[in-house]
C-alpha cells in the first residue's frame, strides 16, 4: 500500500512539474515596420512644396535570443530632405506621427513625437519619444522602447539616419492548461480510492 501511494505521489509531482516548468522559447523574433512619410515640416506655406520632409522606410528583420534579454533593432532607415521652407519658417516646430509595428504576427500602432529646428544654414529633425509598446505571447513578452535620434541637414539636400529601438524580451511562466490539471486531479483521486479499497479489504 505504501509503495502504491508513494508511486502515485511521485507521478502526480512529475505531472505538476511538467505543467508549470516554463516552455523554452525557440522561435525567432521577427519585426516588421510599416514605414512613414512626413512632408512640409516647418514649412510656412511659402517655401518649396513638400520640404522639409522625413521618410522612414519600412523594414523587416529577425533576431534570435535564447531566454530573456535585450537587443537593438532597426525600425526605419531615415531620409531627411531639406530645402527652402519659407522666409518665416525659422524656429522649432513640433509634430507627431505613427506607423504600424508587427512582432511575430501581432500588430500594434507605434505613436511617436518629434520636432524640427529650422535654421539659416542647418535644419535638424528630432525624433524625441514614443510610448513603450508591450507584445504578450504565450511564453514570453516583448517591450519596445524607441531610442531618440537626430538627423542634421546642412543646406539643401538629402541626409540619412536610422531610427532604432531597444527590444526587451522576458520569458513568462505559462499557466497550466485545464486539461493537465484535470488529469492530475483524476490521478490523485484514483490513488486515494485504491488506498481506501485496500484498507477496507484488510479490515474485512
Domain ranges across the chain: 1-22+175-196, 26-172
Which backbone phi and psi does 44 adopt, to 5 degrees?
Answer: -85, 5
Rounded CA separation 92/115 (Å): 7
SS3 64: coil
Rounded CA separation 53/36 (Å): 11
pLDDT tens series, the chain, 204 aa? 454 455 454 444 444 444 444 444 457 999 999 999 999 999 999 999 999 999 999 999 999 977 789 999 999 999 999 999 999 999 999 999 999 999 999 999 999 999 999 999 999 999 999 999 999 999 999 999 999 999 999 989 999 999 999 999 999 865 555 554 455 555 555 555 665 677 666 766
Q: Which of 131, 122, 127, 132 is nearest to 163 (CA)?
A: 127
pLDDT for 129 equals 93
C-alpha cell at 59: 523594414
179, 181, 185, 190: CA torsion to nearest 10 = 60
Q: Is 194 left (phi over 0), alpha (psi -120 to 50) or beta?
A: alpha
52 contacts 116 by C-beta, under 8 angstroms:
yes
pLDDT for 46 equals 96
27 contacts 203 by C-beta, under 8 angstroms:
no
Beta bridge pairs of residue 81: 53, 158
Amino acid at each position: 500500500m505504501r509503495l502504491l501511494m508513494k508511486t502515485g505521489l511521485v507521478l502526480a509531482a512529475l505531472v505538476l512539474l511538467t505543467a508549470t516548468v516554463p516552455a523554452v522559447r525557440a522561435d525567432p523574433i521577427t519585426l516588421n515596420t510599416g514605414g512613414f512619410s512626413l512632408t512640409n515640416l516647418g514649412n510656412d506655406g511659402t517655401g518649396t512644396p513638400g520640404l522639409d520632409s522625413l521618410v522612414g522606410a519600412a523594414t523587416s528583420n529577425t533576431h534570435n535570443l535564447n531566454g530573456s534579454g535585450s537587443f537593438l533593432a532597426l525600425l526605419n532607415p531615415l531620409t531627411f530632405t531639406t530645402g527652402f521652407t519659407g522666409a518665416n519658417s525659422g524656429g522649432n516646430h513640433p509634430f507627431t506621427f505613427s506607423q504600424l509595428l508587427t512582432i511575430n504576427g501581432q500588430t500594434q500602432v507605434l505613436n511617436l513625437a518629434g520636432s524640427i529646428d529650422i535654421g539659416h544654414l542647418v535644419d535638424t529633425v528630432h525624433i524625441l519619444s514614443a510610448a513603450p509598446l508591450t507584445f504578450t505571447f504565450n511564453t514570453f513578452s516583448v517591450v519596445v522602447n524607441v531610442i531618440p535620434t537626430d538627423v542634421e541637414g546642412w543646406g539643401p539636400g538629402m541626409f540619412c539616419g536610422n531610427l532604432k529601438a531597444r527590444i526587451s524580451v522576458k520569458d513568462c511562466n505559462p499557466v497550466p492548461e485545464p486539461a493537465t490539471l484535470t488529469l492530475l486531479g483524476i490521478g490523485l483521486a484514483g490513488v486515494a480510492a485504491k488506498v481506501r479499497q485496500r484498507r477496507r479489504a484488510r479490515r474485512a
